[in-house]
Amino acid sequence: SRMMGIWRFKELLPLKTERPVTMGEGSTPLIRLEKLEKIIGVRRLYVKFEGANPTGSFKDRGMSLAITLAREVGSKAVVAASTGNTAASAAAYAARAGLKTFLLLPRGKVALGKLAQSIMHGAIIVEIEGNFDLALDTAKELAKRDEFYPLNSFNPWRLEGQKTLGFELFEDIGVPDHIFVPVGNAGNISAIWKGFKELKRWGYSDSLPKMNGIQAEGASPIASAFKAGLRAPLFTDSPETVATAIRIGKPVNWLKAWKAVTESGGTFESVTDSEILRAQRLLAREEGIAAEPAGAASVAGLIKLASQGYFNGDETVVAVVTGHGLKDPDSARFHPTMRLRAISMDDAIEKVMEVL
Ligand SMILES: Cc1ncc(COP(=O)(O)O)c(/C=C/C(=O)C(=O)O)c1O
């Protein structure tokens, strides 16, 4: 049921608990994209809409486990560096668990909705001069002190929760041929892969999906190295993209993600900001799905690879839209629409009839 969320899979989770900190995270919609399917030329195309989670991103899946554990081990305070969604999710779940939240955020680079959530939930916010990667180093330093429980995705409990996305896909459609995931710190693509590997190992399924990681061109340490045939990412101190959620230069889980892509026979690809924004608009205006820019990156990558002949046409493909469009209301400035000003009912009706 809804309130059970990811805890429906409790036998498949490594945490036995009587009192999970949960808000029904997971059980998110799997939405068929009939229009885009025909354009891309695959048999079945879906979006796994993670914007439908309690705080509006996939982060809730892992946060439920990590915060449950933090409370069980008696932590009083949790710490997280974040581009915004981990912050929003940590603040919400920690508040629910009665834990103090310390957030390290790259000053001026966190989308408005995520900052609003962090403030609303009462987190203590440290806006640091520098990128997410400096914030993450700071969080790691703080986590060395016993008072702080670390929530970033080097914490394996986060990935244990996030693997439930794979379980849900399997429940709904079995094993898709391809899964597209936007990649920042590279935890999510690794977690979903882990979920499918476990389903196969436990005998539930006999096949595996190809994992495809999509990065923003200006923040693509893994994708650029992978495409150049290198064997390690090209870390950067100056990641730049409109998709601020994945504006990460030194992904902490890069090796896990690299293994997920190579073991599964998938690929990494990078997409430009304009390709991301085009995908964001297409999802919103053709399929009714509001994605924040990073959430649309998976679809942008899918479109780009399809145009390069990546598919043979009979595949079942899933694109993970990782965060809701409400997270980044400023990104609406890239998608203007007609706005009329009326001074009365008659004026409104007259103007509407003019543009009908
Ligand atoms: C909407 C959205 N889409 C994709 C990603 C990338 O996932 P990972 O590759 O597992 O990092 C993020 C990540 C956000 C943070 O890293 C953070 O919130 O600190 C995100 O918010």
pLDDT, tens only, 209-238:
999 999 999 999 999 999 999 999 999 999
Whole-number pLDDT of residue 285: 98
DSSP class per residue in 274-316: HHHHHHHHHHHHHS---B-HHHHHHHHHHHHHHHTT---S--E
Is the CB of 186 inside a 6 Å radius of any atom of ligand 1? yes
Q: How far apart are the C-alpha atoms of 293 and 275, rounded to whole Å?
A: 10
Residue nearest to atom 11 of ligand 1 (CA): 185
> If you measure from the C-alpha of residue 356 to the centroid of ligand 1, how many angstroms do you get, rounded to a whole number?
41
Which of 125, 322, 331 best tests ligand 1's pocket when mutated (most atoms within 8 Å of CB)?
322
Write down the pLDDT at residue 1: 52
Q: Is the pTM of this model over 0.95?
A: yes
Q: Which ligand 1 atom lies nearest to the CA of residue 89?
A: 18
| CA–centroid distance, residue 184 to ligand 1 (Å) | 5
CB of residue 292 inside a 6 A radius of ligand 1? yes
Per-block average pLDDT, block size 10, for the chain (356 residues)? Answer: 82 93 97 96 98 98 98 96 98 98 97 98 97 96 95 94 98 98 98 98 97 98 98 97 98 98 98 98 98 98 98 98 98 97 98 97
- For the Cβ of 323 lying below 6 angstroms from any atom of ligand 1, the answer is yes
Q: How far is the CA of 200 from the centre of ligand 1 (A)?
A: 26
- For ligand 1, atom 19, which residue shows the shortest CA distance? 82
Judge if the beta carbon of residue 62 lies within 6 A of ligand 1: no
**Amino acid code (one letter) for 83:** T
> How far apart are the C-alpha atoms of 97 and 218, rounded to whole Å?
37
pLDDT value of residue 4? 79
What pLDDT digit, counting tens, does each position of 122-145 carry?
A: 999 999 999 999 999 999 999 999
**pLDDT tens sequence across 45-80:** 999 999 999 999 999 999 999 999 999 999 999 999
In angstroms, rounded to a whole number, what is the distance separating the alpha carbons of residues 154 and 20?
A: 21
- Helix or strand holding residue 150 (H, E): strand 148-150
